Amino acid sequence: MTTEATSSLLKGEDPAGPGTSGPAGARRGSRPGAVTAYLRYGAGKLAGAAVSLFAVLVTSFFLFRLIPGDPVKFMTGGRPVSAEQIAAYRREFGLDLPVWQQFTQYCGKALTGDLGTSYQFHGPVVDKITEALPNTLLLTGTAFVLYTALGIFLGTRSAWRHGRLGDRLGTGLALTLYSVPSFWLGLLLIIVLSVGAGPVPGLFPTGGMESGGEQGLAYAVDVAHHLVLPVLTLVAVEYGQTLLVTRSALLDEMGGDYLTTARAKGLRDDLVRRRHAVPNALLPTVTLIFVNLGRTVAGVILVETVFSWPGLGGLFYQALSVPDLPLVQGLFFVFASAVIVMNTLADLLYPLLDPRVGR
């Protein structure tokens, strides 16, 4: 640290200028050509995202055609049908066309927002996705807010007290829960808290989103009651990742000279952590937050299936069992696109948090 930076801290100022702290103080700095450099950087990231989306489109079409099973047999319900009826079904859904022609039609429709017609529900795939999306966002969005806040809070405290008993126990518990399969933990919670094998039987519903027949405030309470176990499962499995990333990033920052100078200045330990160390350690956590934010759209297939939650994950599992190719392809494309878009947003945000990125 330079003499000027040390003097600034001793005078009650941040070394990188007003309103900043430590290395991240360069965030508000300016340099000739910074806007041009950012635009060039952003254009490269957007181009990469476009290529990734096209790759997902190709993968979603060809991958699921490897699934064994004949969709026409499902559409006929196992009834004996004539060859003419089978041919009519294939013509109706374009299955009689060569694969390359099916692919070009699929890409053309996808560009207009048409993801095809579901074999199973005999309606537009987009409508089924739109119908199930709010349920998924309610479940995974609630869990996302809780496990992100919990992970950041516990991660910062664990790093600040690294090596102590609380740090070792907290990190060990986070690693253990992070390695536990979510479906197994969900089933265990159902056994302990729902079906009567545990000390508090029948405390929560075994699955579903509502009991039915409720309205107004009673309906909201009913949905919240059904949310508890799936949200608890997701929070328990996911918070450890945020904790470990935050802890590791903060440990890297704790040796910085600017923190030593801030302590020498007489600032309280929690103030040094909150105002100086944590803001400069958030870049890796920001990446993880955006990745997890993309996954809130994708849902959690296993957890939604275990708890019979009527969201996109359960719909995907249901479509795979047919196989309902248009619905599976559409859901896969939506899942992957959400992650790609959020990763791209994180990349575009990086230079605003730290101008060293993208230079």
Could you report the per-residue pLDDT of 102-130, keeping only the tens digit for each? 888 888 888 888 888 888 888 888 999 99
The residue that leads in pLDDT, 5 or 258, is 258
* pLDDT higher at 275 or 142: 142
Which residue has tokens 């536990």? 180
Please give the full DSSP string across 44-104, using - where no structure is assigned: HHHHHHHHHHHHHHHHHHHHGGGS-S-HHHHHTTT----HHHHHHHHHHTTTTS-HHHHHH
Q: How far apart are CA 275 and CA 343, in angstroms?
A: 27
**Total residue length of the chain:** 359
Instruction: Decide if 43 is inside a domain.
Output: no
pLDDT of residue 234: 92
120 — phi, psi (to 5°)? Answer: -80, -40
List helix spans (H) across the chain.
3-10, 34-63, 71-75, 83-92, 99-111, 125-160, 165-179, 182-193, 216-253, 257-264, 269-272, 278-280, 283-298, 301-306, 312-320, 325-353
Closest to 331 measured CA to CA, from 47, 49, 48, 63: 63
pLDDT of residue 42: 85
Distance CA 95, CA 74 (A): 14
Q: Which two tokens stand for residue 174?
A: 């986070």
Specify the 3-state DSSP secondary structure of 117.
strand
pLDDT band at 10 (very low <50, low <70, confident <90, very high): very low
Of the chain, the percentage scoring pLDDT greater than 90 comes to 11
Residue 104 gets the label, from left (phi > 0), alpha (psi -120 to 50) or beta, of: alpha
Residue numbers of the domain that contains 184 = 129-323
Q: Which of 38-47, 130-139, 306-315, 318-327 has the lowest mean pLDDT?
A: 318-327
Give the contacts of 359 (CB within 8 A, at least 6 positions apart).
37
Within-domain flag for 145: yes
- The pLDDT tens digits for 178-228 are 888 888 998 888 888 887 665 666 788 888 888 876 777 888 888 898 999
**Distance from chain centroid for Cα 247:** 20
Higher pLDDT, 281 or 286: 286
CATH of the domain at 188: 1.10.3720.10
Structure-block tokens of residue 245: 């990333």
Rounded distance, CA 297 to CA 299, Å?
5
**pLDDT on residue 145:** 92
Q: Is the pLDDT of residue 147 over 90?
A: yes
pLDDT confidence tier of residue 285, bands split at 50, 70 and 90: confident
Structural domain contains residue 245 = yes
| 31 domain residue, yes or no | no
Question: Does residue 68 register a pLDDT over 50?
Answer: yes
Question: What total number of domains does the chain contain?
Answer: 1
Asked whether residue 111 is assigned to any structural domain, the reply reads: no
**Of residues 229 and 26, which shows the higher confidence score?**
229
What is the per-residue pLDDT for 31?
58
CA distances from 177 to 147, 201, 232, 310 (A): 12, 23, 12, 25
Please check the confidence at residue 84 and state whether its pLDDT lies above 80: no
206 domain-assigned: yes
> What is d(CA 346, CA 344) in angstroms, rounded to the nearest whole number?
5
200 phi and psi angles, rounded to 5 deg? -125, 70
Q: What is the mean pLDDT of residues 24-41?
A: 64
Answer whether 276's CB lies under 8 Å from 22's CB. Answer: yes
Name, in order, each residue with C-beta under 8 angstroms of 155's C-beta and a sequence gap of 6 or more: 242, 243, 244, 245, 246, 247, 250, 285
> Residue 87: inside a domain, yes or no?
no
CA 30 to chain centre: 33
Query: Is 121 inside a domain boundary?
Result: no
pLDDT of residue 121: 84
pLDDT value, residue 235: 92
Cβ pair 204, 229 in contact under 8 A: yes
